[in-house]
């Protein structure tokens, strides 16, 4: 340590305190990395690895990136899961006469703390979360620091539930303590690629007490403090935009675990993990980034309170009737920028003049939106902030630069001192123009020019061919010789230069200070801007619902209270949209008061899974307040949806299909109520036929007798259809198909009753398997079917134990019972054994 240079000693001290962070160490116009950081970054970003003399025997590894382009490299590293510490110079090098410039970490950037507008997905929240283990429950707090929204909840002390909640919420980074079960942290890191940081600090930060001061439960408060401690320690900047914590209760919204959200393709598709062709892709006709994020929250957290759902229906219906007002509303919403994230940048202190212009332009249309809401009789109290608009309109230049340190930020007339300096600068520039014209006249050199650069300041430029025309009396002093011209200075020009440049420096400095002052005033309006953002988001989502309803001919569902469900000609909204018009086959879904389970049979590829997903998506659309794809729909309000659909097999974690099936089935059985919806697609297929059939029947019976949840259960075990005779609340339905001349046509129509064929070989034929193989499979099937008939297999009905054990005895068993083994000689025993053997042969 003694041998290294002072600067490198400074770097090592900073690195020691941030060993899990890659340090971007500011040196002039570059960020440099050293030692292992340099090796790692050069490999990840394909940068040239060089060396630097640092006082040691060998040069140390080093690589660097330009300061002005650093965000590109930082984003790439963060995406790969690294944390980046920005180490800046804390004082102007010009003012340091002794020693080295002070440096320190000013911000740590990671997946959960990104705030750069160009990096973030405007349609999604970027959550960072805290998980605290309270032994009997987990505390979960998560926040998008770019918007200031913060949520807190308590999760049952169950690994599956805490993991599911974190993953399904889309949290990018988790902060936890060393008390958390290491297997949970490992799951987050390895299986779900979520950054995990162990941090035991739970600090009291008085300036942010308002976030949780209305909460009573110490577990909520502790979890919030834990997250805030980490954010303040890593971001080292103002967090005044953080909003009051929103408590999420278990019974506040429709429950769906991560498997259900994934199986139903609510926000991304199963195969490609992309937004296109998911439910949100279909429903998102929002005009603002805030509205798009709110829509995602609605879809992932449907309502369970009938009154709140009906209120949204009423708004959508009004917008459909008042289509002209809806069109005007959409036009004004389109002009509103991302108020949530703009407020965040103002609070963080990195908003530039263009950001404030976006705020001004957004505020400008608020009175128009308020007027439309009034005409629609919508119950929203929207503030219009005329005071803030007037401040920004009178101060910020219409076309400012990106940087706030280049001037041209503030309008004339806003600050008298600034105006005087600008007049002085203008007079100086006018002088330069006049001086150039006068010198041309005085010297007779027509191409004489007055120019400026940072090295020589203002200069007189004369071409080589005219240099001989210069006379001593002009007072020119040669400063630079170029290939085609000579550059000179003059006493008068240097005198004015000092005035002009001094005015320019003072203008830039004063404009910067004025801008900071304006930005600080804008901070005072952040709570109101956030309230406005929430209203705009909700209105935007409602107009989006109205738009998709109009485009796709959806209808307003009727919410029932008697647990019955009736959908007439329902459609899967996404599949319908993807198929050509008129191709999609609509289907009814009917659960009467006396029917809880629909057992679905039918061919592969006929549409059983689509039918099941269709019902779940219709329920979700209904409970977020959107109209639904059907001719008519009567629905109860469900409290949860559980799914087990094959596509979610967890092959990555090494679990077998059957283990995943049983785990997901168990989760549903443990948590479902009579008000839940369960979708089980071919449950039991992951094990041997009779095992699978037995388990499928037992699960159906348990749901039927113990839970009473509305259930769609598809199966290829056709023997299970006999359960309709024994289970009063179960009904058979099937997906029809037409077979003719050895060919099958899928009709995709749901009908009552059951089928006894799966048409698997026909599906194989459609997949173009070799004819020889298809023919052989057909012959084998005939053998199996004939064998099956001989066995006369029947599904075991539910019988009392004593009836099951009441089995008729055979003659052999009767004879065996009559034998007294203690009074039988060896010869008699052999004779008895012979007779029994003959009896068995009969």
Looking at domain 558-791, which CATH architecture does it have?
3-Layer(aba) Sandwich (3.40)
Average pLDDT along the chain: 89
Fold of 416-519: MutS, DNA mismatch repair protein; Chain A, domain 3 (1.10.1420)
Residue with tokens 């101060």: 395
What pLDDT score does 117 carry? Answer: 83
- Evaluated on CA atoms 747, 748, 753, 757, the torsion sign reads positive
Question: Using alpha carbons only, how large is the chain's radius of gyration in Å?
Answer: 38
Range(s) within the chain of domains with CATH label 3.40.50.300: 558-791
Least confident of 132-141, 602-611, 682-691, 743-752: 682-691
Q: How far is CA 390 from CA 61, 350, 394, 522, 798, in A?
A: 54, 22, 6, 12, 77
pLDDT band at 660 (very low <50, low <70, confident <90, very high): confident
Chain segment 381-409, per-residue pLDDT in tens: 999 999 999 999 999 999 999 999 999 99
Please tell me the CATH code under which domain 127-251 is placed: 3.30.420.110
Report phi then psi at 567, rounded to 5. Answer: -115, 120
Highest mean predicted confidence (pLDDT) among 52-56, 530-534, 606-610, 715-719 = 530-534
Q: How far is CA 691 from CA 424, 603, 681, 717, in A?
A: 92, 22, 16, 11
- Which stretches does DSSP call E strand in 442-534? 449-453, 457-463, 477-481, 485-489
What are 387's two structure tokens? 């005071």
pLDDT per residue as tens digits for the range 323-377: 999 999 999 999 999 999 999 999 999 999 999 999 999 999 999 999 999 999 9
- Residue 713: enclosing H or E segment and its boundaries? strand 710-714
Listed range (484-493, 561-570, 596-605) with the worst mean pLDDT: 596-605
Position 275 pLDDT exceeds 90: yes
Taking residues 798-804, what's their average pLDDT?
A: 39
CA distances from 258 to 265, 300, 338, 675 (A): 11, 10, 29, 20
Q: How many residues does the chain have?
A: 842
CA of 89: how far to CAs of 11, 22, 390, 513, in Å? 12, 17, 37, 20
Residue 250 has pLDDT above 50, yes or no: yes
19: its two tokens:
């060993």
Q: Which residues pair with 633 in a beta bridge?
A: 567
CATH class of 6-109: alpha beta
pLDDT in tens, 773-797: 767 766 766 666 666 554 444 444 4
How confident is residue 593, by pLDDT bands cut at 50, 70 and 90? confident
Q: Which of 193, 183, 140, 192 is nearest to 159 (CA)?
A: 183
Q: Which of 90-94, 385-389, 544-548 has the lowest mean pLDDT?
A: 90-94
pLDDT score of 495 = 85
The top-level CATH class assigned to 284-385+525-552 is: mainly alpha
What pLDDT score does 787 carry? 63
pLDDT at 730: 97
DSSP per-residue letters across 329-367 = HHHHHTT---HHHHHHHHHHT---HHHHHHHHHHHHTHH
Q: List all residues 6 or more positions away from 537 whose beta carbon is below 8 Å from its beta carbon.
A: 288, 290, 291, 293, 294
The encoded tokens of residue 624 equal 């977020």
* Contact between residue 70 and residue 31 where contact means Cβ atoms under 8 Å apart: yes
Domain with CATH 1.10.1420.10 in the chain: 284-385+525-552, 416-519
Is residue 196 a contact partner of residue 188, using CB atoms and an 8 Å limit? yes
Range list for CATH 3.40.1170.10 in the chain: 6-109
Which residues, listed in sequence order, are joined to residue 632 by a DSSP beta bridge? 568
Q: What is the pLDDT of residue 776?
A: 73
Q: Is the pLDDT of residue 767 over 90?
A: no
Which of 6-20, 342-356, 560-574, 688-702 is predicted least confidently?
A: 688-702
Residues 6+ apart with CB under 8 A from 32: 24, 25, 26, 38, 52, 62, 63, 64
Question: What is the rounded average pLDDT of the residues 682-693?
Answer: 74
> What pLDDT is attached to residue 429?
81
Check: CB of residue 529 under 8 Å from CB of residue 240: no
Round to whole Å and give the CA distance between 618 and 627. 9
700/723 Cα distance (integer angstroms): 9
Q: What is the pLDDT of residue 413?
A: 96
Q: What is the mean pLDDT of residues 258-264?
A: 93
Angle in degrees, 0-180, between the axes of helices 339-348 and 526-552, rounded to the nearest 10: 160
Place of tokens 């600008």: 422
Categorize the per-residue pLDDT at 802 as very low, low, confident or very high, splitting at 50, 70 and 90. very low
Task: Classify residue 753 as left (phi > 0), alpha (psi -120 to 50) or beta.
Answer: left
Neighbours of 820 (CB within 10 A): 6
By percentage, how much of the chain surpasses pLDDT 70? 87
């Amino acid at each position: 340590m003694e041998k290294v240079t002072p600067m490198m000693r400074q770097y090592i001290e900073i690195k020691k305190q941030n060993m899990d962070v890659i340090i971007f160490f500011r040196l002039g116009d570059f960020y440099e990395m050293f030692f292992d950081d340099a090796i790692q970054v050069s490999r990840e970003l394909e940068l040239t690895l060089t060396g630097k003399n640092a006082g040691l025997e060998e040069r140390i590894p080093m690589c660097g990136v330009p300061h002005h382009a650093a965000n590109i490299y930082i984003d790439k590293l963060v995406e790969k899961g690294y944390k980046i510490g920005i180490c800046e110079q804390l004082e102007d090098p010009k003012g340091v006469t002794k020693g080295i410039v002070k440096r320190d970490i000013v911000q740590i950037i990671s997946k959960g703390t990104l705030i750069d507008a160009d990096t973030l997905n405007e349609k999604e929240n970027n959550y960072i979360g805290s998980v605290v283990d309270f032994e009997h429950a987990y505390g979960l707090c998560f926040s998008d620091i770019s918007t200031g929204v913060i949520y807190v909840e308590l999760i049952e002390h169950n690994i599956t539930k805490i993991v599911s909640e974190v993953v399904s919420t889309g949290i990018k980074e988790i902060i936890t303590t060393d008390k958390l079960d290491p297997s949970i942290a490992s799951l987050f890191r390895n299986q779900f690629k979520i950054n995990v940081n162990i941090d035991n600090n739970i600090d009291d930060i008085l300036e942010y007490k308002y976030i949780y001061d209305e909460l009573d439960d110490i577990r909520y408060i502790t979890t919030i403090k834990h997250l805030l401690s980490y954010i303040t320690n890593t971001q080292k900047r103002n967090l005044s935009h953080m909003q009051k914590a929103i408590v999420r209760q278990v019974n506040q919204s429709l429950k769906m675990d991560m498997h259900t959200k994934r199986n139903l393709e609510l926000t991304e598709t199963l195969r490609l993990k992309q937004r296109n062709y998911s439910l949100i892709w279909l429903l998102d006709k929002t005009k603002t980034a805030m509205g798009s994020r709110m829509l995602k929250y609605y879809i992932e957290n449907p309502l369970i309170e009938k009154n709140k759902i009906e209120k949204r229906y009423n708004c959508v219906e009004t917008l459909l009737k008042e289509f002209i007002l809806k069109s005007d509303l959409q036009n004004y919403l389109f002009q509103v920028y991302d108020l949530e994230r703009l407020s965040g940048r103002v609070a963080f202190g990195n908003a530039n003049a263009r950001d404030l212009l976006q705020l001004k332009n957004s505020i400008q249309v608020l009175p128009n939106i308020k007027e439309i809401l009034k005409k629609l009789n919508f119950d929203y109290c929207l503030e219009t902030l005329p005071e803030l608009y007037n401040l920004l309109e009178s101060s910020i230049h219409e076309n400012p630069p990106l940087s706030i340190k280049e001037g041209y930020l503030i309008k004339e007339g806003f600050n008298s001192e600034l105006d005087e300096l600008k007049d002085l600068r203008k007079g100086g520039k006018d002088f330069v123009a006049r001086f150039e014209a006068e010198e041309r006249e005085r010297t007779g050199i027509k191409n004489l020019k007055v120019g400026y650069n940072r090295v020589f300041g203002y200069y007189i430029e004369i071409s080589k061919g005219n240099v001989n025309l210069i006379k001593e009396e002009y007072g020119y002093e040669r400063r630079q010789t170029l290939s085609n011209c000579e550059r000179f200075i003059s006493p008068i020009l240097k005198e004015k230069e000092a005035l002009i440049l001094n005015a320019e420096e003072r203008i830039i400095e004063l404009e910067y200070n004025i801008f900071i002052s304006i930005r600080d005033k804008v901070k005072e309006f952040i709570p109101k801007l956030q309230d406005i953002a929430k209203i705009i988001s909700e209105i935007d989502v409602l107009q989006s619902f109205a738009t998709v309803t109009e485009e796709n001919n959806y209808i307003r569902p009727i919410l029932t209270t008697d647990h019955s469900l009736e959908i007439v000609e329902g459609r899967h909204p996404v599949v319908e949209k993807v198929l050509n018009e008129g191709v999609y086959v609509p289907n009814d879904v009917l659960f009467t008061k006396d029917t809880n389970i629909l057992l679905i049979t039918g061919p592969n590829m006929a549409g059983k899974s689509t039918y099941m997903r269709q019902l779940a998506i219709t329920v979700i659309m209904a409970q977020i307040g959107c109209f639904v794809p059907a001719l008519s729909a009567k629905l109860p309000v469900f409290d949860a949806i559980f799914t087990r659909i094959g596509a979610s097999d967890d092959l990555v974690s090494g679990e077998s299909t059957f283990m995943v099936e049983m785990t997901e089935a168990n989760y549903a059985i443990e948590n479902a109520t009579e008000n839940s919806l369960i979708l089980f697609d071919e449950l039991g297929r992951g094990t041997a036929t009779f095992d699978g059939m037995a388990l499928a029947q037992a699960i159906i019976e348990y749901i039927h007798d113990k839970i009473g949840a509305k259930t769609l259960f598809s199966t290829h075990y056709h023997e299970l259809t006999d359960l309709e005779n024994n289970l009063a609340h179960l009904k058979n339905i099937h997906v029809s198909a037409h077979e003719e001349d050895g060919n099958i046509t899928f009709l995709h129509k749901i009908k009552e009753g059951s089928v006894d064929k799966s048409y698997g070989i026909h599906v194989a034929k459609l997949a173009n398997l070799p004819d020889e193989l298809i023919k052989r499979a057909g012959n084998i099937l005939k053998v199996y079917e004939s064998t099956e008939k001989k066995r006369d297999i029947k599904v075991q009905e539910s019988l009392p134990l004593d009836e099951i054990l009441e089995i008729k005895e055979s003659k052999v068993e009767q004879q065996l019972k009559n034998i007294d083994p203690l009074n039988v000689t060896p010869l008699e025993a052999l004779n008895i054994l012979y007779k029994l053997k003959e009896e068995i042969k009969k």
